[in-house]
Amino acid sequence: MTNLRHDWSIEEIEEIYNLPLPELIFRAQTVHREYHKPDAIQGCQLLSIKTGGCPEDCGYCPQSAHYKTGLEREALMSVESTLEAAKNAKDSGATRFCMGAAWRDVPNGEQFDQILEMVKGVRSLGLEACCTLGMLREDQAEKLAEAGLTAYNHNLDTSPEFYGDVITTRTYDERLKTLANVRKAGVTVCSGGIIGMGETKNDRYGLLQQLSNQDPHPESVPINQLVKVKGTPLQDEKALDVFDFVRMIATARILMPSSMVRLSAGRLELSDEAQTLCFIAGANSIFMGEKLLTTPNPETNRDTQLLEKLGMKLFSAAA
Ligand code: SAM
Ligand code: DTB
Ligand code: SF4
């Protein structure tokens, strides 16, 4: 087995990212096969349980109250309708259900109790349960762990150097602190980032270094392509070269061999061939369903047809 390393230098990451593509993909496939089945993809389903009106100013996000994106602020969803969505997700083949809230941090009291009920309910359906609710304190992470939460998503999004260009209402260190709280509580970590926000290649290496030098590695690493949403400061960013997406995925796979690498936002823009390249480069999960949190995603039919054509399949049971 390739050893897991936590001391990758920027130079090493740069060298891997810029390998000739066939060599990069060969290396990514080689480590992928040591740790994962080459023909199986995990289906995850997202649900926005609390949409819009977020006090943070993340330049990419349609849910920030700082920008006019046409999204209405909504109240926290009920436990009942959340669990109904989770059942539907299970029926369409997902094994992980991820609940997202447009919060800066998690409020205590009734709303938090409601979240704990949702987590318990999702787990009792036999699904992995993931939450992404903003900053989390240690005691909150412990309560979520007790409720059975499988994973907490909290993206580092980009390099520490570029972070302040995209978000001014919080710091990179605050992000790292939440990740540490999650880890300490024994909940698995889901953390990744976005490319296509006008970052340099160095920023991509910096993000990958931050993720891969955590010990243990985040068990789950979502790689998102920016979804350009009208009204956000990043609405006019130029299109990302698809090979950069593939390189990012392959490099993440090589640096973090045992982690799930998730081909996340931005799939609607990708051809079947481009998605296939991402799978070959080591991505082994997708978000299913017609919506991510608030933006569109390919229809389930298109995904199942593609997997069938490729002779690949969805994981049949939750881990
Ligand atoms: N409010 C919480 C937080 O920021 O951690 C959780 C929800 S937030 C919407 C979850 C993640 O979605 C962000 O960290 C970001 O990586 C991703 N995201 C948001 N808007 C996006 C966009 N337009 N394109 C790609 N990814 C996006
Ligand atoms: C992640 O890295 N991407 C997902 C999930 N984790 C929470 C969210 C993507 C959101 C895309 C924009 C939207 O639909 O609002
Ligand atoms: Fe709020 Fe999360 Fe969107 Fe940032 S990414 S504005 S914290 S919902």
119 lines ligand 2 (CB under 6 A): no
Ligand positioned closest to the Cα atom of 191: 2
Q: What is the pLDDT averaged over residues 109-133?
A: 97
Q: Which of 42, 45, 46, 131 to mutate to test the pocket of ligand 2 (most atoms within 8 A of CB)?
A: 46
Q: What is the pLDDT of residue 315?
A: 85
Q: What is the pLDDT averaged over residues 291-300?
A: 94
Check if 262 is active-site: yes
Listed in sequence order, the residues at least 6 apart from 148 whose beta carbon sits closer than 8 Å to its beta carbon are: 119, 120, 123, 129
Q: What is the pLDDT averaged over residues 135-154?
A: 97
Rounded to whole angstroms, the Cα distance separating 211 from 213 reads 6
Q: CA geometry: angle at 135 spanning 133 and 138, to 5°? A: 110
Q: What is the pLDDT of residue 1?
A: 80
Helices (H), the chain: 10-17, 21-35, 79-91, 110-124, 138-146, 160-166, 172-184, 201-212, 242-255, 272-280, 300-310
Rounded to whole angstroms, the Cα distance separating 181 from 187 reads 9
Average pLDDT for the chain: 96
Ligand positioned closest to the Cα atom of 262: 2
Q: Which of 50, 61, 135, 178 to mutate to test the pocket of ligand 3 (most atoms within 8 A of CB)?
A: 61
Q: What is the pLDDT averaged over residues 121-147?
A: 97
232 lines ligand 2 (CB under 6 A): no
Check if 190 is active-site: yes
Using CA atoms, how far residue 85 sits from 28, 89, 149, in Å, is 35, 6, 17
DSSP secondary structure string for all residues of 72-137: PP-PPPPHHHHHHHHHHHHHTT-SEEEEEE--SBPPPSHHHHHHHHHHHHHHHTT-EEEEE-SB--
pLDDT in tens, 52-83: 999 999 999 999 999 999 998 999 999 999 99
pLDDT(125) > 70: yes
From the list 44, 123, 130, 170, the catalytic residue is 130
Percent of the chain predicted with pLDDT > 90 = 96
Check if 131 is active-site: no
Write the residue with the smallest CA distance to atom 1 of ligand 2. Answer: 222
pLDDT(167) > 70: yes
Coil vs helix vs strand at 61:
coil
pLDDT(2) > 90: no
Q: What is the pLDDT averaged over residues 217-232?
A: 97
Of the pLDDT bands very low, low, confident and very high (cuts 50, 70, 90), residue 289 is very high
From the list 27, 44, 96, 98, the catalytic residue is 98
| CA 18 to centroid of ligand 3, rounded, Å | 31
Write the residue with the smallest CA distance to atom 8 of ligand 3. Answer: 102
Q: Say which residue the tokens 């447009």 belong to.
A: 102
| CA 3 to centroid of ligand 2, rounded, Å | 31
pLDDT in tens, 187-218: 999 999 999 999 999 999 999 999 999 999 99
Ligand positioned closest to the Cα atom of 106: 1
CB 6 within 8 A of CB 213: yes
Rounded to whole angstroms, the Cα distance separating 16 from 272 reads 25
Q: What is the pLDDT of residue 317?
A: 56
Angle between helices 242-255 and 272-280 (to 10 degrees): 20
